[in-house]
Structure 1
Amino acid sequence: MKILPISQIAEIDNYTIENEPITSIDLMERASLAFYKRFTNLYPHGDVSVLVGPGNNGGDALAIARMLIQDGREVQVYLIAEEHNLSEDAKINLSRLYQLKDGVNFLKLSEQFSLIESQDIIIDGLFGSGLNRPLKGFVKELVQYINALDAKVVSIDMPSGLFGEDNSANDHDAIMMVDQTISFQFPKLAFLLPENEIYVGDWYSEPIGLHSTKIKETHSDYCYTEEGHIKRLLKNQSRFAHKGHFGHALLLAGNYGKMGAAILASRACLKTGVGLLTTHIPRLGYLIIQTAVPEAMANIDRSDILISEFPDLDNYSAIGIGPGIGIKPNTQSALRELLESLNGKPIVLDADALNILAIDEELWELVPNNAILTPHPGEFDRLVGESYSSFERLQKALKFAKDMEVILVLKGAYTSVISSDGHCYFNSTGNYGMATAGSGDVLTGMLLSLLAQGYHPLDAARLGVYLHGLSADLLLNESAEASIIASDIISQIGAAFQQLTR
Structure 2
Amino acid sequence: MKIFTVPQIRALDAYTIQHEPISSLDLMERASQAFVDWFCARFNSRQPVLVFCGMGNNGGDGLAIARLLSERAYAVQVYVVEHAKQGSEDFQANLDRLPASITRQTIIEPGDIPSLPVDSLVIDALLGSGLTRSLSGLVAEVVKAINQSQATILSVDIATGLYADQANQKDDTIIQPEYTVTFQLPKLAFMMPRNEVYVGEWVAVDIGLSREFIEQEPTPYAYTDEAAAQSLIMPRGKFSHKGTFGHALLIAGSFGKMGAALLCGRACLRSGIGLLTMHIPRCGYTVIQTAVPEAMALVDLHEQYITTLPSLQSYDAIGMGPGIGKDPQTLQALKELITRSNIPLVLDADALNLLAENPDLLEQLPENTILTPHPREFQRLTGESPDEFQRLQTARDFCARYNVIVCLKGAHTAVVLPDGQVYFNSTGNAGMATGGTGDVLTGIITSLVAQGYIPAQAAQLGVYQHGAAGDKAARSRTKVGMIASDIVENLGW
Shorter-normalised TM range: over 0.9
Query: 2:254 — aligned with what?
Result: 255
C-alpha distance after superposition, 1:411-444 (max 9, x if no partner): 1000111111110000111111111100000010
Q: CA deviation at 1:164?
A: 0.3
C-alpha distance after superposition, 1:157-187 (max 9, x if no partner): 010011102124x364411111100000110
C-alpha distance after superposition, 1:250-290 (max 9, x if no partner): 11000010000110001111111111111111111111111
Query: 2:179 — aligned with what?
Result: 180
Query: 1:463 — aligned with what?
Result: 461
TM-score by length of 1: 0.96
CA distance in 2, matches of 1:464, 1:86: 48
Query: For residue 207 of structure 1, what is the amino acid of its counterpart?
Result: D
Map 1:73-222 to 2 at 5 A. Answer: 73-81=74-82, 85-101=86-102, 104-168=104-168, 170=169, 172-222=171-221
Secondary structure, aligned partner of 2:326: coil
CA distance in 2, matches of 1:98, 1:422: 50
Map 1:40-439 to 2 at 5 A. Answer: 40-45=40-45, 46-81=47-82, 85-101=86-102, 104-168=104-168, 170=169, 172-342=171-341, 344-439=342-437
Q: CA separation of 1:315/1:51 partners in 2, compared to 1, >3 Å: closer, same or farther?
A: same
C-alpha distance after superposition, 1:108-135 (max 9, x if no partner): 1212223443431100010011111111
C-alpha distance after superposition, 1:447-494 (max 9, x if no partner): 111111111001111111111111111123322111110100000112
Q: CA deviation at 1:292?
A: 1.0
Is the contact made by 2:268 and 2:444 (CA closer than 8 Å) also made in structure 1?
Answer: yes
Is the contact made by 1:317 and 1:346 (CA closer than 8 Å) also made in structure 2?
Answer: no
Q: CA deviation at 1:82?
A: 8.0
Gap runs ≥5 in structure 1: 498-502
Is the contact made by 1:134 and 1:171 (CA closer than 8 Å) also made in structure 2?
Answer: no
C-alpha distance after superposition, 1:356-402 (max 9, x if no partner): 00001111122011001000000000000012322121111111111
Is the contact made by 2:16 and 2:210 (CA closer than 8 Å) also made in structure 1?
Answer: yes
CA distance in 2, matches of 1:491, 1:389: 36
Query: For residue 40 of structure 1, what is the amino acid of its counterpart?
Result: C
CA distance in 2, matches of 1:74, 1:56: 23
CA distance in 1, matches of 2:171, 2:18: 37
1:441 aligns with one of 439, 442, 450: 439
Q: CA deviation at 1:87?
A: 0.9
1:492 aligns to 2:482 (yes or no) = no
Q: CA separation of 1:333/1:85 partners in 2, compared to 1, >3 Å: closer, same or farther?
A: same
CA distance in 1, matches of 2:83, 2:359: 61
Is the contact made by 1:5 and 1:188 (CA closer than 8 Å) also made in structure 2?
Answer: yes
Query: For residue 266 of structure 2, what is the amino acid of its counterpart?
Result: R
Is the contact made by 2:167 and 2:388 (CA closer than 8 Å) also made in structure 1?
Answer: no
Q: CA separation of 1:383/1:76 partners in 2, compared to 1, >3 Å: closer, same or farther?
A: same
Q: CA deviation at 1:99?
A: 4.8
CA distance in 1, matches of 2:302, 2:365: 25
CA distance in 2, matches of 1:385, 1:142: 39
Query: For residue 367 of structure 1, what is the amino acid of its counterpart?
Result: L
Q: CA separation of 1:61/1:444 partners in 2, compared to 1, >3 Å: closer, same or farther?
A: same
CA distance in 2, matches of 1:84, 1:23: 25
- Matched length: 492
Query: For residue 438 of structure 1, what is the amino acid of its counterpart?
Result: G
CA distance in 2, matches of 1:15, 1:449: 43
CA distance in 2, matches of 1:123, 1:153: 6
C-alpha distance after superposition, 1:41-90 (max 9, x if no partner): 22123110110101000000000000111111111110112896111111
CA distance in 1, matches of 2:20, 2:61: 20
Query: For residue 422 of structure 1, what is the amino acid of its counterpart?
Result: G
CA distance in 2, matches of 1:362, 1:91: 62
Q: CA deviation at 1:229?
A: 1.4
CA distance in 2, matches of 1:458, 1:148: 45
Is the contact made by 1:135 and 1:174 (CA closer than 8 Å) also made in structure 2?
Answer: yes
Is the contact made by 1:144 and 1:173 (CA closer than 8 Å) also made in structure 2?
Answer: no
Q: CA deviation at 1:340?
A: 0.9
CA distance in 2, matches of 1:337, 1:158: 50
Query: For residue 52 of structure 1, what is the amino acid of its counterpart?
Result: C
CA distance in 2, matches of 1:125, 1:261: 48
Query: For residue 62 of structure 1, what is the amino acid of its counterpart?
Result: L
Query: What's the Cα RMSD here?
Result: 1.3
Secondary structure, aligned partner of 1:255: coil
Query: 1:13 — aligned with what?
Result: 13
C-alpha distance after superposition, 1:178-213 (max 9, x if no partner): 110000011000011010011110001011111111
C-alpha distance after superposition, 1:201-232 (max 9, x if no partner): 00010111111111111111000011111222
Query: 1:500 — aligned with what?
Result: none
Q: CA deviation at 1:314?
A: 0.9
Secondary structure, aligned partner of 1:493: coil
Q: CA separation of 1:185/1:172 partners in 2, compared to 1, >3 Å: closer, same or farther?
A: farther
Is the contact made by 1:320 and 1:347 (CA closer than 8 Å) also made in structure 2?
Answer: yes
Is the contact made by 1:52 and 1:78 (CA closer than 8 Å) also made in structure 2?
Answer: yes
